[in-house]
Each structure stands twice: as C-alpha cells, then as structure tokens.
Structure 1
Amino acid sequence: MFEEYKGVYVIADCFEGQVRGVTYELIGQARLIADQLGEKVHTLVLGEAVAATAPSMIAHGSDVVHVFEHPLLGRYTTDGYTKVITDFFADHKPNVILIGATNDGRDLAPRISGRMKNGVVADCTILTVDTKDGLVEWTRPALGGNILAEIICPEHRPQMGSVRPNVFKKPEPDETRQGEICKEPVQLADGDIRNRFVEMIHIDKGDVNIEDAEIVVAGGRGMGNQANFAKLQELADVLGGVVGVTRPIVEKGWFDLSRQIGQTGKTIAPKLYLAFGISGAIQHTAGITGAEVIVAVNNDPEAPIFNVCDYGIVGDALQVIDEMIRQCKRIKANGGDAAAALVQTQQVPSADEA
C-alpha cells in the first residue's frame, strides 16, 4: 500500500546561514530509523547560501542532502518554506519526516502536514521502530506531562513528527562518509509570501543560555526561599556552570522563564546536571533526559528524582551545597579543575559527609 514511500527525511533548522544543533541530533535518529527500515537518510536545507553546510550533514549521517537556495529563503517565512518543501515532496514521497521542535519547526510542521493532508506528532522525546510493520513509534508527554503517549501512523504517509532539541545526542561526525549533494530548483516569488521580514531586534537581558551549558546547577521548591538560590549561583560559579530552576520557581517570579527546565521550559543535555530540592515530576525530568550525569539531592528518599539520577544523595540540600562548594574550592586551590573532577570521576560528597 505504501511501497512508493521511501526514505527518512530531516528538515534542517537554520538561522542566519548556520545549522542549529537539533538538525544533527535528528540526522542521528534518522540514521538509526533508516538502518532498521533499510532506507536512506535525506536532509533538506533551505536558505540563501547554505550549500556549504551539506558536507557536515553527510558526515553526521545523511546519505543525500537536498539544497534549496534562493534570496527569499534567507529568512524563515511560513509561506516560503512551506511552499518549497511541499512542492518537493509532491515529487518525492517520504516515508518519515523529522522536524526540530524549535520556534520555526513548531510553526512549519503543522503547515506542512496540513498542506500534505497528513498528521504530525508534536514535541516527541522518544523514537522507536516497529520493523515488522515499518512503523515509527512516536512517544511524547501528554496530559500536562502526566503520561507518555505512544503514537503510530498506520494508515497515512508520510509518518511525521517534531522532536525536541537536546533530547538525543548529536552523533560523532565521520569525515570519510560519502554522500550525494543535490542542488534543487526553487520556484518562489514575492507573491508567494504574505509576510515580510522588517527588522531583527536582539534582546540582551544579560542572561545565559542553559540549553548550551555543559554544567547546570538546578533548584526546586526544596531550596526553601529565594535567598537560598544565591548558594546555587555560588556553586555554579565555582563549577563554571549556570543555574536552572523548576516551573514553580519561575511562577514565583524568582527567575526568568529562560531558566526553566522541563516540558514547558527548556530541554537540556549538559555533561553534568545537579538537582537540589527537586522532586522529579515527569514535567521536569522530560527536560533532562539528555544529561550525561545526573546528581540529585533531596531529603525525601522516595522522591521520583532518584529513579532517573545516576547518583543520589538523601540529605539537606543547603548542607550538601555548602559541602560541594567547600570541596570544589579546595580542588581549585590545589590547581585542579573542579568541574572536570565531578564530570570525569563522577564523584560527589556522600550524605554522611554533608
């Protein structure tokens, strides 16, 4: 029935000619899916001058990179990107389409699916394949993050979903990989685009980007009061990391939304994630699945966070923070790298020490 639908397609997410990291994460997942289905990985990259990015996508796992270059594609527009992509898919019938759940991706995915008259599973965090039926099983949080819904698309093609950034690891590039780069024709005119880019206004709040941080020190309601978060900042400074928080802390107005981690906040993939006074509700843990090492501190031994962490400390969060700060400062005073010591040796002070 769907024999003519072939290939796992990734739609690259670019900004000002640069490929965002989620694109490579998706190529890695597309590679796993395609290998199980016996198909190829295709990547679509759109922009004004983006051909130079194609070799990197091949190195990360693409078999074919389709390059669409046009002055009207220099800035993302819903109309322009939707038209170019759906025109292409009218002649190429994809089996699977992956899009990053970024601001642009969340706008683009439903427009493409609507134009192609098929569904899209939004904000996925787990992708698996039923090789018997050739179906991708899309898993996403639902009902406010209280359950994980598994969704399949057995009666329509293409199978399509958007995937959160930082959920999957970016594959290591293989510069020896061979692939095909196809320069595709673009039929696009001013009249096809109803909105116009006027000006880019950069807002500088002097804040940090926790999505790119290698070390995140996070606090929840168990920290007690706003003043105690100064200790988190001190520990983050010693480690060279940044402070993140849970949704209730943002709702109290103690931190900006840009620091919120979880289903309704940022999805992060640091090398080290330290969680203090965080219970571990699924709404929060959905945002830390990509962390390499998770250390949790909570005075409740039954806290759900202990089910997802690599190392758990049952104890008072403030006492453990003080002990960590003391030990990290001692390491730095001796010429060591406190952050490297924690990440590489994965050693933390025990509850008894704290």
Structure 2
Amino acid sequence: MIILSESSSLAGDNHHKLYDVYVSFQGGNTSHSFVDHLYKALKGANLNTISDDQEIQRGLHLKRELKISIERSRACIIVLSENYASSSFCLDELVLIMTFSYIVIPVFYHVKPKDVRFQINSFGDAMIKHEQKMEAETNVKKRSELANKIEKWKEALRQVADLKGHDANDGPETELIKEILDHIRGRLRGPLRNLIEFGLADIKSATENFAETYLIGSGGYGKVYKAELNLIDRNILLGLDGKNLEKIHMNRKTVAIKHILNDEKGQGKQGFYLEIEMLRRCEHPNIVSLLGYCNEYSEMILIYEFASNGSLDDYLGCIKKVTYLNWNKRLEICLDVANGLDYLHTNITDKERIIHRDIKSANILFD
C-alpha cells in the first residue's frame, strides 16, 4: 500500500489550508466594533484567523492574494451588515467564498435573512445602484461583464441567506460571539468524526513518553513511533457514528503514531488538519488508513495502521531483502501503487481529488 505524505495535496497548488477562519465584512458600521471583538475571540481560541483587511491589499478589483487566502481557509465567516451589498469588492469576495469554501457561516448583523435572500431594504437599494451603474455603462463589453457579475452576486446572496447562521438583531454581542465560536469549533471538528479520539495519557503510556526506543521514522513536521493501543474495528465505528463506544470490545493492535511538532509558523497544525482532511475520505486497500487522533493540551497526534513489513526503501537498501523482489513481486507492487493513485485521482467522492506529489520508495509500505 502507499501512504499520503506531507507533500500530498488536494488538487491544485493553492489548496493547502493555511488558515482556520477567514472573516469577510464591509467596513464602517462593523469593522471597529463587532468584527474587532469577533476577530480577537477567534484568535484567543487559538484559531488561525485572517480578515479581508489584513495582509491583503484592498482595491477596486480582487487581488490574487485574496482568492488564495479564501481557498486556503478551512472556514469562512461572513458578517452581512446593512452596507455589505453596497461594496462590489465584498460581493466579489462573497462569490469566491461560495465557490471555494467548504464551511460558510453567515452572521446577519442587524439585517434579516430575507433581506439578503430577496435583496430588499438596504440590500435591494444597493443592488439597484449596481444595476444603474451597469445601465449607464456605454461600453458594450463592460456592460455585459457587469450584468453577468450582478447575476453572480444575486445568486451568491441567495445561497448564503439559505445557510445556517447567526442573528445579531437580538441579545448581547458577547453571547453572539460565544455562539459563533462554538459553531465554528464544532464545524472544524467535523473532519474528526468517525475517528477514534485517543487519550494523551494512553499514547504516552504506550510509547513510554515518546521514548527513542519506539521511534521508527520522522517526517517533515513530526516523528513516527511504533506502539500498541486498544482499537475498535473501523467498520463498527462507522456504523455507530461515534455513539455507544463504551459497549464495544476493543482489541490490542500495533499502530504507527505520528507526534506532530508545532512551530511558530503553525505548519505542524496545518499539516495535522490537512492529513485528516485527506485521509478521512480514503477507503482503499492500497491506501494507509488513518485510525484516530489526539488533540489534548496542544498536542497533535495521528494514529495510522501499521505496515508490519516496512517500506520498499527498506528492501532496496538491503542486499538480503532485495532478492525477495522477484519480477512478479515487482509487477504486483507497481499495480498496487497504480491502483492506489487511480483511486486518489479519480474516485474521491468529495469536491476535489487528491494529488500525491511525493511518490518514492519510502512512501510505499508493505503490510
């Protein structure tokens, strides 16, 4: 079987998730109050957050950096205020978010969802002004482009209004921000569903606090250990949907434990969630399985099935072992790798396929 390495990615070079949350808003009545408090709360919750006025050069047209930032964010929060639709920049941004983001959470800041959905009241006034600007355009090509853009804006507004969001019209903003935090953390934990959550104490006990005697390798942002843990069959876990696990008998099994080292730039954290996002979707005999995780006390640990017979690299580097690789076995290995790659490239059911960018002997494992 093959493994997905740190160099694997979702299709396209821009799909590594660098941020947890992207915040979209229109300045003025929200930028120096509610959004400031929301942004601080997100950062305080250890969520890597970026907003459309931070690190991005704003202007009349969307910058390439903005598109990349949206694509590289795991979730987007859109603060829909009264003057949101008056900004063509915000509307262009909204279209990008609705196109590229998996998790979108709208906040209706002193506006009603129906105002956004049907473009009435302040949203209707704003769209009328955009249409008047379009009608006043004398250049036929520009007028056609603007008309097409307005239709995309309207559709994006209808889409975001239909999403589950938060209403800022009633109650204190501190409670609203707490609700948003709980919501975003719950959604970001979504990829962890149907994975076993291991206790840090159990992992430390199994590896004797990550002792060198258990170390079997290292990657770009972590070390890998071989140890034994109590496991539940994954098919049973999927059927239970994470419920009543205490009633299920667990078996002792040898696993590979990757202890991810976080750094100041947050690359370890990004890699932790990126591997979960990729591997949680893969169920194929030629792809290594992700069994579970641990995310306690800022520790980030991934648990994989253990390939008991080592890697192709181990065989190629040993004269005694390489004799085992007769031509039939080599052909079998090539076919298994090809089947695994074909699955990644063509049979992933989610929006984007996975590209393995680091096919090498060390990443081809024998079970």
TM-score category by the smaller chain? Answer: under 0.3
Q: Per chain length, whose mean CA-contact separation is higher, i.e. which structure has more relative contact order (CA < 8 Å, sep 6+)?
A: 2
Greater Rg by CA? 2
Higher normalized strand content (fraction of residues) = 1
